[in-house]
């Protein structure tokens, strides 16, 4: 007996696929419809283990396609939307900002308008849950943390597009009473992470003895959270979070990029049976990212105190699990790094 039909957008991407798998398996009484455009970042291989489950349906399509959204809402009585679809990589947003504004802003607004139209003021047991990022808060210096009260100060086209979508989601709550929730999470890592992002890129390059491109001096700080911990937080907020509220998600796990890359090298030397210090020789300092945010750090006290969520995994352990996954899934890695990725890599790194 189906209790809820939930639309997950971007379910073939990194976080979306972990979330989709988690919901499909944990809640057989929910029907999960995954709407994904399958951009370079979307990959149905990420969901092979659940693709035949009775409570799972995949729909290929664009969240900006209002006709398709109307059709989907006509055919299904969605009680919830968990909106993960986005263009998500800062470097790509520097090269091509319009794609980010289109999907992250217009796509989010299209979903909001369609939900408003079909829910037609009957908001009981409905929720529009928008998945966002800590990058909307801008950049910290050496001290302090982002709380839910921190003023938005996005600095990249990516973070500006996410900040804009957060504002529009909140506007629909205040103006039309649409029942929304938002969470802003720190940097995720784990299996199925597309190798344009720092951790999987370094794993891939260490494996292939290629340079490890560290931007600037490697002193920028990110607060890393294992993707399955993020998914548990989303599950908690989805079921127990208050409508209209925002929750920050993070693991109090700050690393400078250079220390992180060295830790990856250390663990991979051990796992690959390489001489101690060998992979570290691949570290190459390259031209800094334009407008590179110095430090992100999340204060997740509200989520802990109000809903009882805390991260489950220590970083070294999470990193080890992640490396093991990539080592056992070289086919996946080779597949996503062939074709288009090669052109991106040339463009992005050979100019630096």
Active site residues: 134-135, 158
The sign of the torsion formed by the CA atoms of 280, 91, 336, 194 equals positive
Structure-block tokens of residue 161? 């597009």
Site for ligand NAD in 8-37 (CB under 6 A): 9-10, 12-16, 36-37
Q: Is 161 in the site for ligand TYD (CB under 6 A)?
A: no
Site for ligand NAD in 179-198 (CB under 6 A): 185, 187-188, 194
Q: How far is the CB of 141 from ligand NAD (least distance, A)?
A: 21
- Under a CB-based contact definition with an 8 Å cutoff, are residues 79 and 5 in contact? yes
Q: Is 205 in the site for ligand TYD (CB under 6 A)?
A: no
Kindly give, in sequence order, each residue whose CB lies less than 8 Å from that of residue 41, ignoring residues fewer than 6 positions away.
13, 14, 88, 89, 194
Residue (166 or 279) nearer to ligand NAD, CB: 166
Q: Which does 161 bind (CB under 5 to 8 A by kind): ligand TYD, ligand NAD, none?
A: none
Angle value at C-alpha 259, between 257 and 263, nearest 5 degrees: 115
Q: Is 223 in the site for ligand NAD (CB under 6 A)?
A: no
Single out the residue of 20, 93, 103, 205 in contact with ligand NAD (rule: CB under 6 A): 103
Site for ligand TYD in 116-145 (CB under 6 A): none
Stretch that binds ligand NAD, among 61-69, 144-152, 239-247, 276-284 (CB under 6 A): 61-69
Distance CA(257)–CA(264), nearest Å, equals: 11
Structure-block tokens of residue 215? 């931007």
CA-derived radius of gyration, the chain: 20
Residue (37 or 197) nearer to ligand TYD, CB: 197
Q: CB neighbours (10 Å) of residue 147?
A: 14
The burial of 274, by beta-carbon neighbours within 10 Å (0-12 exposed, 13-18 middle, 19 or more buried), is given as middle
Q: Is 186 in the site for ligand TYD (CB under 6 A)?
A: no
Q: Which residues bind ligand TYD (CB under 6 A)?
A: 90, 187, 197-198, 201, 213-215, 220, 222, 257, 289
């Amino acid at each position: 007996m189906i209790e809820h039909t939930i639309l997950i957008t971007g379910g073939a991407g990194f976080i979306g696929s972990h979330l989709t798998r988690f919901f499909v398996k944990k809640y057989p009484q929910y029907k999960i419809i995954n709407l994904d455009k399958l951009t370079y970042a979307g990959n149905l291989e990420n969901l092979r283990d659940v693709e035949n489950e009775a409570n799972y349906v995949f729909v290929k399509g664009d969240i900006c396609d209002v006709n398709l959204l109307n059709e989907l809402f006509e055919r299904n009585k969605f009680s919830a939307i968990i909106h993960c679809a986005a263009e998500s990589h800062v470097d790509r947003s520097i090269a091509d900002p319009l794609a980010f504004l289109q999907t992250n802003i217009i796509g989010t607004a299209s979903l909001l308008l369609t939900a408003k139209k079909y829910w037609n003021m009957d908001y009981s047991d409905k929720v529009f849950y928008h998945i966002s990022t800590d990058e909307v808060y801008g950049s910290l210096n050496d001290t302090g943390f982002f709380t839910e009260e921190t003023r938005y100060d996005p600095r990249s086209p990516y973070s500006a597009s996410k900040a804009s979508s957060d504002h529009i989601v909140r506007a629909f709550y205040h103006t039309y009473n649409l029942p929304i929730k938002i969470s802003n999470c720190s940097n995720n890592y784990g299996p199925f992470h597309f190798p344009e992002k720092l951790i999987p890129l370094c794993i891939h390059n260490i494996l292939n003895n290629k340079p490890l491109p560290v931007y600037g001096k490697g002193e920028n700080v990110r607060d890393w959270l294992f993707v399955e911990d993020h998914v548990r937080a989303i599950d908690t907020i989805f079921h127990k979070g208050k409508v209209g509220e925002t929750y920050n998600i993070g693991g109090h796990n700050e690393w400078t990029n250079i220390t992180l890359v060295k830790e990856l090298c250390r663990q991979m030397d051990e796992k690959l049976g390489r001489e101690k210090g060998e992979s570290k020789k691949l570290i190459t300092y390259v031209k800094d990212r334009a407008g590179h945010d110095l430090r992100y750090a999340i204060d997740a006290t509200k989520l802990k105190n109000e809903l009882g969520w805390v991260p489950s995994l220590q970083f070294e352990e999470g990193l080890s699990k992640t490396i093991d996954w990539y080592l056992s899934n070289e086919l996946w890695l080779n597949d996503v790094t062939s074709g288009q990725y090669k052109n991106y890599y040339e463009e992005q790194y050979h100019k630096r």
